[in-house]
Amino acid sequence: MTDQRLETPVGSAVSVRPPGFHRPDWLTPRGAVRAIGTGNLSLIGALAVIVAIFAWLNDGYLDPRNIAGIGDAVTVFGLLAIVQTVVIICGALDISVGSQAGVASVVSAMTFTAASGSAVLGILAAIGVGVLLGAVNGVIIVYGRVNPVIATLATLAAFKGLAQLISGGKAQGFVLDNDLFIFLARGKIIGLPVPVVILGLVALAVHVLLKYTDIGRNIYAIGGNDTAARLSGININKYLIAVYVLAGVVAAIAGILLTARTGSGQPVSGSEGLELKAITAAALGGCALKGGKGTVGGTLLAVVLLGALDNGLNVVGVNTFWQNVAQGSLLVAAVVIQQRRGGERAVGLPT
């Protein structure tokens, strides 16, 4: 029997691994790309380009105070984008989240005033209203058998009118003489603004819900194929109502932060147009508008990208109306990319 030995050139390095050792897949280049996702890598690249352009155009763009301002500015619509992600994954849409935030903002300030300056009661009242408005959306869609787009388009107008009715169309109350509202608006936790911390906690909770629980897997299943989900025993009606209630609660949190930031309840100003930004962020983040696909991480990246773009346009003195043009263009681009990736036939054109 011959003695076979592994010979290596003198001076060469030999990598010795313990038996059974396997390099984690995410440590390899391909594994890292899969872990991050090609869509997220595209967003990171786009964000890097935007930051580089605006930093070149204006030296103050990368100032720490400006970066903190971007983080604070994206929190309200970022919360709505996170919960919009859940709704879209479930195969639905909620166009009324901005109006719900407006109602919650007004209710929180008016309750605060009526309750002799009790911020806790104001916050609880706003969250209760969020539950109610979300349930209204869910019941209309499930038991009225109304398309989610049509239903929430109707409630967008209805909730906006409700906020104006109960407030008389004017900002209500003044909350910036209260320590809790001041803390929500301007406080810091471990050096981070409180609104950013709240956005991070909500995003983390929703991420865990979607990725690591049966509830999350069922939400993906409903959006991916509702017929198969129903045949597998999933109660789709209950899930839809619960998802819209969740949307109402998070919209209420956004409304509370809006009240804390502006110092009063805002029926329309500050909440109008938030639904478009939320949908744009979710679509840019990789949510398939037909349902069954999307991640919280992708949506958060898109939120940061939109915030960096809006702030950059302001810093370099571009007319604010161009922000709407940019948001609309990004939404169209995101949908077109989704259609192309999905191989769907162009409307009105031969296959």
All structural domains of the chain with their residue ranges: 65-308
CB distance 131 to 248 below 8 Å = yes
Task: Determine the topology of domain 65-308 in CATH.
Answer: ABC transporter involved in vitamin B12 uptake, BtuC (1.10.3470)
Is residue 348's pLDDT more than 90?
A: no
CB distance 200 to 276 below 8 Å = no
Q: Ramachandran region of residue 341, left (φ > 0), alpha (ψ -120 to 50) or beta?
A: alpha
pLDDT for position 8 = 47
The per-residue pLDDT for range 247-272, each reduced to its tens digit, is: 999 999 999 999 999 998 888 866 67
Confidence of residue 71 (pLDDT cuts 50, 70, 90): confident
pLDDT for position 270 = 66
The region of weakest confidence among 44-48, 112-116, 337-341, 345-349 is: 345-349
- Highest-pLDDT range among 165-174, 184-193, 216-225: 216-225
The per-residue pLDDT for range 108-164, each reduced to its tens digit, is: 999 999 988 899 999 999 999 999 999 999 999 999 999 999 999 999 999 999 999
**Residue in the block written with tokens 């605006």:** 54
pTM, two decimals, is 0.85
